[in-house]
Structure 1
């Protein structure tokens, strides 16, 4: 199902109840001028690097660049990420996402997709330090890319086109019941910055 057909008015969003989960979808959360400024600032100010992760018992390089910022370290797929400091842009975007999602965040994972072959495989954000029902706020600046959700039990799929200035929040039991991915594309694709805000619980 392609939920772009149910897009709300620009700069506004709506909560969508899905099978075993809850989403907040705002395809034009930031206006084009704001989005242009944020993309340029984040592209230059964040410390981008390519990390190796453990996948099926072997180490592979991630097909994208990343930057981890905020107040806590983060572990996933055998990788421990130490946080870089918040930037003014990241804090301003965070505040807007907190208002929309009615949640608080203390960290953000920034991903830089350089071209259509950079991708994100199927996974769930279900690490213990995220808590039992994590709220993940995903903001996109730059090139539009497909974002897929797949139900773990029924294999039902949902698709969003995450465009310049969009916000998608995954809440409730979404991370328990659904996996998500950003697939590769053979179409010509420019750079995309995706920010996923989250709360890390200290042990």
Structure 2
């Protein structure tokens, strides 16, 4: 696989791979939904990005849309519960998130889904993570981003004001409460120059 060029962050990405203290800032979205955001939670994120590009068994998928099969516009890899993660810092991140949110979530994060957005043509459409328990229960999805920043957009289901966050280079966003049921999120396509990004989504058991 040819690795797309990644422009390094301006904030010391050549240093060691370490997690900073977990102290995200919360925004209440309404209807029981909230998000926590912490820029630069992971130092050395560009090094992690390079290791994941070459070390993860990425898969290109096709899905049926109306009457034809279309390519999914990103590469994917899913690590089930108890599967070894492809970089040691991802296991550290999962455990740190589980400890931080234990009082609210009441259970650990167990799985990790990885998405590789190679350029601005790769995207994910508006959706909520409602396969499984997320369709009927409050839950959490934590997303750690490495590589170049891309816009993650959120909007209320049924319409309303949207929010956008440029996430990359070790940034963290956690979507909690009713967010998966009452809000949608997306990574829109862009015609602007966009470097490659990998998102790592940590979820509890039974949430996809």
Q: TM-score range by the shorter chain?
A: 0.7 to 0.9
Q: 2:34 aligns with which of 5, 19, 22?
A: 22
Q: Which residue of 2 aligns with 1:123?
A: 127
Unpaired runs of 5+ residues, structure 2, are 1-20
How is 1:17-166 mapped onto 2 (pairs within 5 angstroms)? 17-20=28-31, 21-31=33-43, 34-56=44-66, 58-71=68-81, 85-87=84-86, 88-102=88-102, 103=105, 104-130=108-134, 132-166=137-171
Please tell me whether the aligned partners of residues 50 and 64 of structure 1 are also in contact (alpha carbons under 8 angstroms): yes
Residue 187 in structure 1 maps to residue 186 in structure 2: no
Please tell me whether the aligned partners of residues 11 and 30 of structure 1 are also in contact (alpha carbons under 8 angstroms): no
Mean CA deviation greater in 11-20 or 190-199: 11-20
2-side partners of 1:183 and 1:129: how far apart?
A: 26
| Counterpart secondary structure, 1:195 | strand
Structure 1 residue 164, shift from structure 2 partner: 1.0
- Aligned positions, number: 181
Mean CA deviation greater in 167-176 or 130-139: 130-139
State TM-score, norm by structure 1: 0.80
Structure 1 residue 138, shift from structure 2 partner: 0.6
2-side partners of 1:128 and 1:105: how far apart?
A: 15
Pairwise CA RMSD? 2.3
Unpaired runs of 5+ residues, structure 1, are 1-9, 73-83
Please tell me whether the aligned partners of residues 147 and 195 of structure 2 are also in contact (alpha carbons under 8 angstroms): yes
